[in-house]
Structure 1
């Protein structure tokens, strides 16, 4: 298997890869075209264009990049929330518009923007309107692939750091136990049919990484991290330790998308440069 071929031989998907490359190139043209036609939006939106984000690293399959991380905070009662960037006003070509953007997130040197999440149709989601009213807490989805969440949470319940107390031992029979405890949530979209799916994981690996990386220190807390759980290939919802068959792709301890076998490492946060799609005008 060549170094550039992310598919293992047993997947039998090499012929498909060529088609994906063509489709990916076409999708890139579409995104670029949208940006060139509409490089900024009205006060309700934010311009698209090239954005640099921190993402969970894509390590296999056809996905073109990682999935964007969501910085988190834990409140005084232990409940976990995603941090929304500061709302500012910018001017381009004589037009003022609102954008949610923090230039230097908690002194990490990283510019954090809503544009990180503007892909897979989410750019038209009300949740990405800068001034959308939300308390930003992660809440439980209607159903979950994790038995612990099915037993402990009802739809709409918030997550508390205490829900993850057994994170150094947790396991569900897929891959190694003790790597981290996950949950499936939604963010800023409690009343929307177009959900913002989120994965939450608490892990010692994140605690260790936070000691040496200013961004991870600023964007995580007590080993808890989160990311937008939308595959960057065809916008499916992948899973961390949700499918036993992921072992066939060396992904039993990683995030695996069963649609086309994209794989992500949730404990490797890297920088990625890509084109964020513009929010539509009102």
Structure 2
């Protein structure tokens, strides 16, 4: 994280990360919940099960939880990439499998795992396999979500920090201007049949919050935050500042047009859910 993007810890600003779910919540799952966990994790495959993840908060609509965050890094040339967890081998049920998981991610105390992304069928995507060969850069997709992207990039280009310099004034005419500049794209999807959709925002809100929380300090960079852009309701692809969102007071949020779920990209929360196992390798 660039020093210029850190906000003083004694500033009095609100904490960015909230809604932490701990062991007590797990203990309260109960018999019915335990049965659901067991039934969801008995099929053969890698990983899966009760998972705690960081996500942009679901604030309205039928979605059961937020969309999982992808830690961001800006490389030495200014290109944006999603951090992939450490790949290692472990035994599950007496079988050696490869997993991607980093304990104490960048000193944050958080275990970052690909199980965060194992829902909505994404667990079967090639890019979620720890062995998938990828440079992890965020790249422009075939149908960019914003006009500025179509004017700046071609499909497959890597997102670059220089193209977000107007983030404190950017507007697409929806909601309040200057909250942050967004982009859509794909991640770990080159030469793959299925595309992993992502969305990223550079915002002053992010910059001002990083100095107050170890996880945000570790998982954001130069004011950029990113997430896997699959609605946790019916797996649709939402969008920040999208058409029609004002009807649901979501013009400054991430809005899913399919069933009106709303997410706050500036509120990162810890969620508890049952990740689906990857197919057998």
TM-score when normalising by structure 2: 0.86
Kindly indicate whether the alpha-carbon contact (under 8 Å) linking 1:123 and 1:277 is maintained by their aligned counterparts in 2.
Answer: yes
1:239 is aligned to: 239
**Does 1:266 find its partner at 2:272?**
no
Per the alignment, residue 90 of structure 1 pairs with 90
Once the two structures are TM-superposed, the CA of residue 30 in structure 1 deviates from its matched residue by: 7.7
Deviations 1:105-148 (A, max 9, x none): 00001100000000000111110111210000000011223110
> 1:277 and 2:276 equivalent?
yes
* Residue 109 (structure 1) aligns with: 109
Specify the alignment match of 1:183 in structure 2.
183
Aligned CA-pair RMSD: 1.4
**Alpha-carbon distance in structure 2 between the residues aligned to 1:200 and 1:113:** 19
The question of 1:257 aligning with 2:261 is answered no
Compute the displacement of 1:31 (Å). Answer: 7.2
Question: Using the alignment, how far apart are the partners of 2:36 and 2:52 within structure 1?
Answer: 19
C-alpha distance in structure 2 between counterparts of 1:281 and 1:60, whole Å: 35
**Highest RCO, 1 vs 2 (Cα 8 Å, sep ≥ 6):** 2
Query: For 1:149-169, what per-residue CA distance to the aligned partner results, in whole angstroms no more than 9, with x for missing partners?
Result: 010011000011111010001
Q: CA deviation at 1:29?
A: 8.0
| Alpha-carbon distance in 2 for matches of 1:173, 1:37 | 47
Return structure 1 stretches of 4+ with deviation > 2 angstroms.
28-34
Q: Does the alignment pair 1:145 with 2:151? A: no
Other-structure match for 1:169: 169
Deviations along 1:183-211, one digit per CA (max 9) or x if unpaired, are 01100012223110000100000111101
Q: Distance in 2 between matches of 1:31 and 1:188?
A: 28
- What residue is the counterpart of 2:212 in the other structure? 212
Matched ranges for 1:34-73 at <5 A: 34-38=40-44, 41=45, 46-73=46-73
Distance 1:104 1:175 in 2: 37
How many Å separate the matches in 1 of 2:74 and 2:254?
24
Distance 1:60 1:92 in 2: 37
- Give 5+ residue unaligned stretches, structure 2: 1-33
Query: Structure 1: any 5+ residue segments left out of the alignment?
Result: 1-27
The TM-score, its normalising length taken from structure 1, stands at 0.85
Change (3 A) 1:191 1:252: same
